[in-house]
Structure 1
Amino acid sequence: MKWRNIEKKIASSFLRNGVRDSKYRWWWEHLKEPVISVLPDYPSDMLLRLVPSDEEVYFIMEDGGKFWLYEGYVDSFYKLVSEMYHFEYYVVSKKMEWLLCENHHCCLLASGNYMVRKVNEHGFV
């Protein structure tokens, strides 16, 4: 599936106004409910606790208003983001069931019933 089609699918699934909101640099300001945000000491460490290690996901990095899409497993992306600060990224279920984001404020945001429940179960709130 091409990047634009994936972007549209993600926007339709997780942004309040769908594709119209995908023009914004900070998608996390436009996430659909249910959504939860937490401020863990090390947000990237939460990826390994929240995202199933055997699930292939989309990984989207925001870079100055441009978005870069990758596919893979969370442990690979964790190695990258754990070394970066004030960096925004999204991890998205390929089934479009949930989305996780770390924004430039080191806030971890989750959208979708499954991931909101997982965040609550882990007691990050």
Structure 2
Amino acid sequence: MRNDVENIIKEFHLDRKRIFEVSKFKYASIIHQIEKTFVKNGQHIHWSNMGNGFQSQWSCIYKDISQQMNWYHLLPQIILDNKEPIYVLFEDTVDYQPKYWVYEMYIPELIVVIDNSNPDDFYLVSKKYDWLISECHEEVVCFLGDKLNYQVIK
């Protein structure tokens, strides 16, 4: 997935100030903060979006997107504070274990990346850690947090 993202950045001449892989020094702390903030019982984020894996204090809505595969084009309407960069975790598998590529990017660049790649599971997280959106390979999107307008998805 990392190679796909890097090729898309080059092919579409995306601004590296608006889309970049986070520093390897920040990587672990970002993952840790996401899991500490959103995931139940200190578990890992992998599979947390498959039902009841998130902490109960978060409002959590699941949407079947099998009939609306390009739902992410609605992100500018879903994310109320959509002018700020977000964290994006793209999941790969290494030796049958999840591996995440963590990027910081803006919504327009994210849409270009998803349009031109085929991510299985990915997570979008506010840099303030006040919301999380995930899509899993089962064509289900999960919305956590009150600062999201998920109603735009039918």
Q: TM-score range by the shorter chain?
A: 0.7 to 0.9
State yes or no: 1:48 paired with 2:47: no
* Residue of structure 2 aligned with 1:15, choices 36, 39, 64: 39
Contact 2:37 2:129 (C-alpha < 8 Å) held by counterparts: yes
Aligned to 1:110: 143
Tell me how many residue pairs correspond in the alignment.
118
Q: For residues 105 and 43 of structure 1, do their structure 2 counterparts lie closer, same or farther at Cα, with a shift above 3 Å needed?
A: farther
Work out the percentage of aligned pairs sharing the same amino acid: 24
Contact 1:98 1:114 (C-alpha < 8 Å) held by counterparts: yes
Q: Which runs of 5+ in 1 are unaligned?
A: none
Contact 2:90 2:122 (C-alpha < 8 Å) held by counterparts: yes
Give me the CA root mean square deviation.
1.9
Q: Which runs of 5+ in 2 are unaligned?
A: 1-24
Q: How does 1:1-125 map to 2 (within 5 A)?
A: 2-18=26-42, 21-22=43-44, 25-29=46-50, 30-32=53-55, 33-40=58-65, 41=68, 42-51=70-79, 52-64=81-93, 65-85=98-118, 87-115=120-148, 118-120=149-151, 122=152, 124=153
Letter in structure 2 aligned against 1:103? C
TM-superposed CA distance for 1:43, in Å, is 2.6
* Runs (4+) off by over 4 Å: none
TM-score scaled by length of structure 1: 0.82
Letter in structure 2 aligned against 1:35? C
- State which structure, 1 or 2, has the greater radius of gyration over its C-alpha atoms: 2
Q: For residues 81 and 74 of structure 1, do their structure 2 counterparts lie closer, same or farther at Cα, with a shift above 3 Å needed?
A: same
Letter in structure 2 aligned against 1:55? E
